[in-house]
Amino acid sequence: MTPLLTAQARLERYIERQGLKQTRQRSVILEAFLAAGSHLSVEEVLRAVQAVQPAIGAATVYRTLKLFVEAGLAHERNFGDGQARYEAAHDDEHHDHLICTDCHTIFEFEEPEIERRQAEVADKHGIRLRSHRHEIYGECVERERCPRWPRS
Residues lying near DNA in the complex (CB under 7 A): 15, 19-26, 41-43, 53, 55-60, 62-64, 66, 82-84
At 147 the three-state DSSP class reads coil
Look at residue 135 and give the partner it binds from its own copies, DNA, none, a contact being a CB closer than 5 to 8 Å depending on partner kind: its own copies
Listed residue (129, 125, 127) closest to 115, CA to CA: 129
Nearer to its own copies, 19 or 80 (CB): 80
Least gap, CB of 129 to DNA (angstroms) = 24
Cα–Cα distance measured from residue 118 to residue 50, given in angstroms and rounded to the nearest whole number:
41
**27 burial via Cβ count (<10 Å: 0-12, 13-18, 19+):** middle
Of 43 and 135, nearer to its own copies (C-beta) is 135
Q: Which is nearer to its own copies, 51 or 129 (CB)?
A: 129
| Partner interacting with residue 100 (select from DNA, its own copies, none; CB below 5-8 Å by kind) | its own copies
* Spatial distance between the Cα atoms of 38 and 14, rounded to a whole number of angstroms: 22
Binding residues for its own copies (CB under 8 A): 78, 80, 98, 100-101, 107, 109, 111, 113-114, 117-118, 121-122, 125-142, 145
CB of 69 to DNA, least distance (A): 11
Cα torsion 62, 67, 68, 72 to 10°: value is 140
Residue type, 78: N
Type of residue numbered 67: L
Q: What does 57 interact with, of DNA, its own copies, none (CB < 5 to 8 A by kind)?
A: DNA
